[in-house]
Chains A and B, each alone.
Chain A
């Protein structure tokens, strides 16, 4: 069966390769010092979508990302790997969004795309590590969701079968479409970029990128539909502005501090009530908890 699949992807600072200037003096991430990359688990999600496309002729894979204009790179990277089209949701009104405001904006944008059979996204982004956006989007759209997926095993007769990685093993779940699935980093790695697709889509741009640069290929982009990446601002989605950006973000950061892990001697506790009680007492007294 042909499917209409949406992949949610995010451009993130590469926090895996941090140098000494990765944090500012104020304790926030110095985005300028870190390369902007495709969030790793979103690549795992894209691979699951592309595999379904390989198995189900007629399937389309659309990628949606929210971020600044340069996040169009995420769409291009997806096109190079086999996605069919993409949209960038970009507006100053979204600045400062926490997971609630982000999932609200994304869910409003997703309504623009009509009937979606399956939304696939990475479990979490390496900059925030919340794992909240996927589930919140499902909730806002009233969709079923399966989290921590390691493999989408099949989609048959509107039933999706997913292998899910849980703490002590795996679960195989089935559920009806439409469904939102979040994918773990333990899932299959994403395929490499494809040479022909790379050459085909290398000039794909959102309108704002074309305006901002002096590229010689504007005419080419305008004459080829597949080179036009969709760009949506707040005016292109139906939403309540008060739920966007900072005003829609109840999360308030009290303090950020650098935590340096220091390995010290280890202690072994048995499962006896006495041992657990003494551990809790110790953790409360040194303010680790409480």
Chain B
């Protein structure tokens, strides 16, 4: 029987990372629930065995149900019927299978009927689902929103909503509006408090809402009349059972067509406040988005895996000039680079997931008891690393999955341009990853402070001290040299003391940092397992080329350069 988890041994490799022992012991509070819940792990080995088994279960559903449905789902898409979404038949079947399998509320505590899994194995499930149907990952993966309720809502709200998520109800996060996309401070949806019944009522329009007709939605709305910025926004929980929200239309999209992207009309929709007033954007959305961004990294990795699988299969099968096209340098070079970018993407995905896991788990523990100073330091350390890694991972892996999908179509030649092969769908599905949950350009905005403050440089220098296999020493020396180049480029840009110029060069600097960090991660992976050796070599080579290109442009650059670009636009006007 086909099983995507077994066919992707890289996942088990990342699952067995040495840091998992510490992480699992924290997450399970030293296995305190082992006698109170019959499905709680007895010890570390038992927990790891359970993660492995649940991933195998996910892989089975992926191979048997989600992958075979993907083409029809892409074709059929969801519909609006009487103001509500009806999923494509394949989507409904996928969801039913995952709900029956209990793969909802994966990271929620057991007291809310969750599985209490760390984020790492949950993200692995998302990685698998995305390889089969990236659009479907959105519907299923929005269970992430439950984390925000778990983190910020009242005990009563948690008790009412979280078990419903574990039982299979879907979620949505209603943020974007026609005039508030990247700039969420402009959100206008009005929230009015009704003294007589103690509820809030929402009025207005939301746009581009993924799974907008989900059962439970987190809604960003303006609770403070007369305000115009982010400080007047609060977070609300809307329960579809109460009514008041209708779907006006579903967008006709380029890709992820099975995932309903909705325009929503709120007419006196009853809702309840989540957390404190005025913290909606500045605190809760930031947390929500960080989780969602990690989800997009998983989606990007899954799509890269799909692109690699499809390209490799086709290149082995397709014969031209009397041999399989995989034997031609032009083709195997592309395939090798797809694999290297895929492996590098997966490495930073799980490194980031571990950082997020550790700081979030310490955060949860801090609600139960006061942390010791050393524990608090560890939480802060991982929070900083998670904050630094999330935007660079989101930015680079989503761009990589687009490049990989592009190359996958290219390897298919004319056939890839037809609707007959999956690569065409993968190509369209990939396109959104570098746009939603913050465009690549906005990831650069979030990441650049870690360039200027030296977080990335410190990370690189730390990774330089990790043990690597003797045969990889040369590659590490190369990376040390590249880090020196990066350091110089950063200094060159900062020397002008011009913030616009930093923004102008920001993407180059962030990419340099990201590529070097990902190279280090691949060296560490290749030390643990030889299967990553070649990817490490290819990726370091790729990094060398990119660093040389960026460093060259930066070395020759100066703030006056920027006017070339602004003037060029004026002259064309």
A191 adjacent to B49 (CB under 8 Å) = no
Interface residues in A163-216 (C-beta closer than 8 Å to B): 191-200, 202
Q: Please, how many angstroms separate the alpha-carbon atoms of A195 and B50 in the complex?
A: 9
A contact residues around B50 at 8 Å (CB): 198-199, 202
Docked-complex contact A198 and B100, CB < 8 angstroms: no
B residues less than 8 Å from A196 (CB atoms):
39, 102, 115
Q: Which residues of B from 87 to 134 have beta carbons under 8 Å from A? A: 97, 100-103, 106, 115
Whether, in the assembled complex, B53 has its beta carbon less than 8 Å from a beta carbon of chain A, the answer is yes
- Are B49 and A192 within 8 A (Cβ)? no
The reply to whether A199 and B53 form a contact with Cβ atoms under 8 Å apart is yes
| Residues B57 and A202 in contact, CB atoms below 8 Å apart | no
B54 sits at the interface (CB 8 A): yes
Q: Taking the nearest CB of chain A, how far is it from the CB of B247, in angstroms?
A: 30
User: Are B54 and A194 in contact (CB-based, < 8 A)?
Assistant: no
B38 contacts A224, CB within 8 Å? yes
Distance to closest chain A CB from B256 (angstroms): 24
Shortest beta-carbon distance, A28 to chain B, in Å?
A: 24
Given the interface pairs A199-B50, A202-B49, A202-B50, the reply to whether A192 lies near B38 with Cβ below 8 Å is no
A248 → chain B closest CB, angstroms: 35
CA distance A217 to B34 in the complex (A): 13
Contact between B49 and A195, CB atoms less than 8 A apart: no
Q: Is the CB of B101 within 8 A of A200?
A: no
Q: Is the beta-carbon distance between B39 and A192 smaller than 8 angstroms?
A: no
B42 is an interface residue with CB less than 8 A from chain A: yes
> Which of A199, A200, A202 has the most C-beta atoms of chain B within 10 angstroms of its own C-beta?
A199
Within 8 A of A (CB), among B29-78: 38-42, 49-50, 53-54, 57, 60-61
Q: A192-B60, A192-B100, A193-B101 are in contact. Are A198 and B38 (CB under 8 A)?
A: no
Say whether, besides A199-B54, A202-B50, A194 and B102 are in contact (CB < 8 Å): yes
Contact, CB under 8 Å: A194 / B100: yes
With A199-B50, A202-B49, A202-B50 already in contact, the answer to whether A193 and B57 are too (CB < 8 A) is yes
CA distance A17 to B97 in the complex (A): 24
Nearest-Cβ distance from residue B84 to partner chain A, whole angstroms: 25
A121 to chain B, nearest CB (A): 22
Contact: B42 with A195, CB < 8 Å? Answer: no
Chain B residue at smallest Cβ distance from A16: B1
Q: Are B115 and A195 in contact (CB under 8 A)?
A: yes
Among A17, A202, A220, point to the contact of B53 (Cβ < 8 A). A202
CA distance A200 to B37 in the complex (A): 9
Q: In whole angstroms, what is the CA distance A77 to B54 when docked?
A: 14
Q: For A198, what are the chain B residues with a Cβ–Cβ distance below 8 Å?
A: 50, 53-54, 57
Q: Which residue of A lies closest to B57 (CB)?
A: A193
- Size bracket, chain B contacts: 20 to 34
- The answer to whether A192 touches B53, judged by C-beta atoms less than 8 angstroms apart, is no
Interface size in chain A (residues, C-beta < 8 A): 16
Does A69 interact with chain B (Cβ within 8 Å)? no
Q: Contacts A199-B50, A199-B53, A202-B53: A192 and B101 contacting too (C-beta < 8 A)?
A: yes
Question: Which residues of A lie under 8 Å from residue B115 when comparing CB positions?
Answer: 195-196, 199
Whether A195 contacts B57 in the complex (CB less than 8 A), given A202-B49, A202-B50, comes out as yes
CA A148 to CA B103, docked complex, whole Å: 33
* Distance A17 CA – B61 CA, assembled complex (angstroms): 19
A232 CB-CB contact with B under 8 Å: no
Q: Which of A35-86 contact B (CB under 8 A)?
A: none
Residue of A nearest to B97 (CB): A192
Q: How far is the CA of A197 from the CA of B115 in the complex (A)?
A: 11
Q: List residues of chain B with CB within 8 A of the CB of A226.
A: 38
Closest to B45 in A: A216
- Provide the residues of chain A in CB contact with B53, threshold 8 Å: 198-199, 202
**Residues on A with beta carbons closer than 8 Å to the beta carbon of B102:** 194-197
Q: Which residue of B lies closest to A17 (CB)?
A: B1
Q: In the complex, what's the smallest C-beta–C-beta distance from B46 to chain A, in angstroms?
A: 8
Residues of chain B with a CB closer than 8 A to A224's CB: 38
* A220 B42 Cβ-Cβ under 8 A: yes
A194 interface neighbour in B40, B49, B60, B101, Cβ under 8 Å: B101
In the bound assembly, the distance between CA atoms of A226 and B115 in angstroms comes to 20
Q: Within 8 Å CB of A217, what residues of B?
A: 42
**Residue among A195, A198, A226 having the largest count of chain B Cβ atoms under 10 Å:** A195
Indicate if the CB atoms of B97 and A199 lie closer than 8 Å. no
B101 touches A195 (CB 8 A): yes
A274 to B97, CA, bound (A): 55
Q: In the docked arrangement, what's the CA distance between A191 and B57, Å? A: 12
A196 to B39, CA, bound (A): 6
Cβ contacts under 8 Å, B103 to chain A: 195
Q: B42, B50, B101: which has the most chain A beta carbons within 10 Å? A: B101
By beta carbon, the residue of chain B nearest A81 is B100
A180 and B61 CA atoms in complex are apart in Å by 31
Say yes or no: B97 contacts A200, CB within 8 Å: no
A33 CB → nearest B CB, Å: 16
- Which residues on A sit within 8 Å (CB–CB) of B42? 217, 220
Expressed in whole angstroms, the Cα–Cα distance for A287 and B102 within the complex equals 56
Interchain CA distance A193-B49 in the complex, whole Å:
16
Q: How far is the CB of A61 from chain B (nearest CB, A)?
A: 16
- Cα–Cα distance between A26 and B332 once the two chains are bound (Å): 46
A198 and B39 alpha carbons, distance in the complex (Å):
8
Point out which of A193, A200, A217 has the most chain B C-beta atoms below 10 A from its C-beta: A193
B158-179 contacts to A, CB under 8 A, are none
List residues of chain B with CB within 8 A of the CB of A195. 54, 57, 101-103, 106, 115
- Tell me the minimal C-beta distance from A255 to chain B in angstroms: 33
Cα A75 to Cα B106 with chains together (Å): 26
- What's the Cα separation between A193 and B65 when bound, in Å? 14
Distance to closest chain B CB from A85 (angstroms): 14
One digit per residue, 1 when the CB lies within 8 angstroms of any chain A CB and 0 when it does not, for chain B 539-550 equals 000000000000
The answer for the CA separation of A191 and B61 in the assembled complex, in Å, is 10
Instruction: Give complex CA distance A282, B37 in Å.
Output: 70
In the complex the two chains form, what is the Cα distance from A217 to B267 in whole Å? 57
Tell me, in angstroms, the Cα distance from A192 to B39 when the chains sit together.
Answer: 17
CB nearest to B53 among chain A residues: A198
Bound-complex Cα distance A198 to B102 (A): 10
CB contacts (< 8 Å) of B106 on chain A: these are 195
Q: How far is the CA of A282 from the CA of B21 in the complex (A)?
A: 74
Bound CA span A172–B100, Å = 29
In the bound assembly, the distance between CA atoms of A274 and B127 in angstroms comes to 66
**Interchain CA distance A226-B54 in the complex, whole Å:** 20
Q: Which residues of B contact A200 (CB under 8 A)?
A: 38-39
A17 to B2, CA, bound (A): 11
CB of B27, distance to nearest CB on chain A (Å): 15
Which single residue of chain A is at the shortest CB-CB distance from B115?
Answer: A195
A226 and B38 CA atoms in complex are apart in Å by 10
The residues of B that contact A202 with a CB separation of less than 8 Å are: 49-50, 53
Chain A residues with CB under 8 Å of B61's CB are: 192
Closest to B166 in A: A196
A interface residues with partner B (beta carbon < 8 Å): 17, 191-200, 202, 217, 220, 224, 226
Apart from A191-B100, A199-B53: 5 A-B pairs, beta carbons within 8 A: A192-B101, A196-B115, A198-B57, A199-B39, A199-B50
16 contacts between A and B (CB under 8 A): A17-B1, A191-B100, A192-B100, A192-B101, A194-B100, A195-B54, A195-B101, A195-B106, A196-B39, A199-B39, A199-B53, A200-B38, A202-B49, A202-B53, A217-B42, A224-B38
| Chain B positions near chain A (C-beta within 8 angstroms) | 1, 38-42, 49-50, 53-54, 57, 60-61, 97, 100-103, 106, 115
**The 6 A-B residue pairs with the shortest CB-CB distance in the complex, in nearest-first order:** A195-B102, A199-B39, A192-B101, A200-B39, A194-B102, A196-B39
